[in-house]
Structure 1
Amino acid sequence: MSAYRSLFRVCVAHDFFSDGRCPGLEFIPTQHTQHIMGNAGLLLRRRGDGIVVSYDEARLASLEMYADDSDDPLCFEFKVYAADPEFRSYSEPFGAGMAEMPYFDNRGAAPGAVVRLHGSDYVAEHDLVALDSDRLGSMMGQKDRLLPPVFVLRIYAHHGRQSLLADWLDGDGVEYRIAFRSRRTYWQYYVLGEMAAQDARVVDADGRLEFEPLGRTTLAGGRDALVFRSTKDIPLHQDYDFRLQLSAKSQQGERVLIKRLPLACVSRPGMETIAGHGTVVSEIYVNS
């Protein structure tokens, strides 16, 4: 009976999610990688935040043969897709278009039991490559350029001339880590209807956020709105704990008009010029 042991793992973190783990990613090995894994008796298993590649102890010699081949150095290639179509909207450092995406490999990382696949704490702009970059080689076909993955990944079995196979076979194998950071946006409220005529303001019941009034504006269709914007950018999150309210001053003091305002969603971010810089804004419309 075959006994499989972990060779290496890829774990993806994302601070958009409450538990810090990034779900819903599908790792698709390239055809060349599928061929190698089949011949070497390797098994790809999905987990909540990534994948585990395991080896068959009874077929270890086949894996060692691939690892010792200097003419065709052993490398595992994956194209990674997100089940959530809004992944790019709430993740840094993606831009507005799809001309670039993050690329990761382990060649620049020091070997060890746990290896981060990017230089900064989180995936950053310097991890982005163009879809037609030579670094991607033959990984990207025409279809991939039309509907690109959210990132691509190569795991090499060598660090310089040093084989990593011994590290992979030691204990539970090596863990490769990728960490995404939530996109930060300014929150901009548009209050429409009867409450737009009042001397209202947006307040945080817990005092963590502040909003400044931007005056009145006329939206498409001729509707008037009061506009408020946060004084700082706020990270998008799966499950906020903010308690934002719309209130107004009256003769009896502060009066709450809306006890719970809607919070920013991840879709349809806009752009505004703030302090002379183009800035991502989450627009939130409140009808009263």
Structure 2
Amino acid sequence: MGYTLLYLGLLVLIPLAALPIKSAELGWSGFWETIAAPRVLASFRLTFGASAIAAAVNLVFGLAVAWTLVRYSFPGKKLVDALVDLPFALPTAVAGIALTSLYAGNGWLGAPIERWLGIKVAFTPVGIVIALIFIGLPFVVRTVQPVLEDIERDLEEAAGSLGAGRWQTFRRVLLPALLPALLTGFALAFARAVGEYGSVVFIAGNMPMISEITPLLIIAKLEQFDYAGAAAIATAMLATSLLLLLLINSLQWWQARRQGARK
């Protein structure tokens, strides 16, 4: 226990504590002035908004992919299972360049989407969401998949024998068991998306007030040798992310306690 706390302090707590300590050089007024700047607020809205949208999309499609891998057999299943982990192994900069080429105005997907739907993907917030969906999907799939594998099929058959339809069986039998894993997958995908840089910076376009993500703004502050300002923005992101993760973990604890009470 003591060694665990020591490692936790050295690897996590002490480095994170350096952010508010460095930002304290600005004082309270300087701190709030930095994070309340219009350009910073716009980057916050884009970063957290795009991350939430991407995590929500991954929640749906991640469950669908996990369900398909667990419940069905089809040619190329092992290949699909391996491809799910591709964002883990692929360097983020490579993913960003590939996505930008694919969704650019003259790309394989970007050109038809822009021509037929009138939607420009690359160098817009839409491209940011797509990049975040790409890097976040494995977190949901790999979190939900083992839980889905452990659910006994007898429960579904029993519900069906009692007259429950597919949707009712999913909502009453499967969803309560999957909900903690879904929340965990959402939290992991969201946390990864908030801090993502390499795969987003190329496709974002980086236009201030439009498609500039907060991690890029932090890099810009560092390049200007404004270390206290960069630490202030990072501290605000850290605090917001911790609060959101605490909320999701509290929901998981509440759900697990409710399920335990039912048993």
> If the TM-score is normalised by the length of the shorter chain, which range does it land in?
under 0.3
Bigger radius of gyration among the two: 1
Q: Is the strand fraction higher in 1 or 2?
A: 1
TM-score by length of structure 2 reads 0.22
- The structure whose RCO (Cα within 8 Å, separation 6+) is larger is 2
TM-score by length of structure 1 reads 0.20
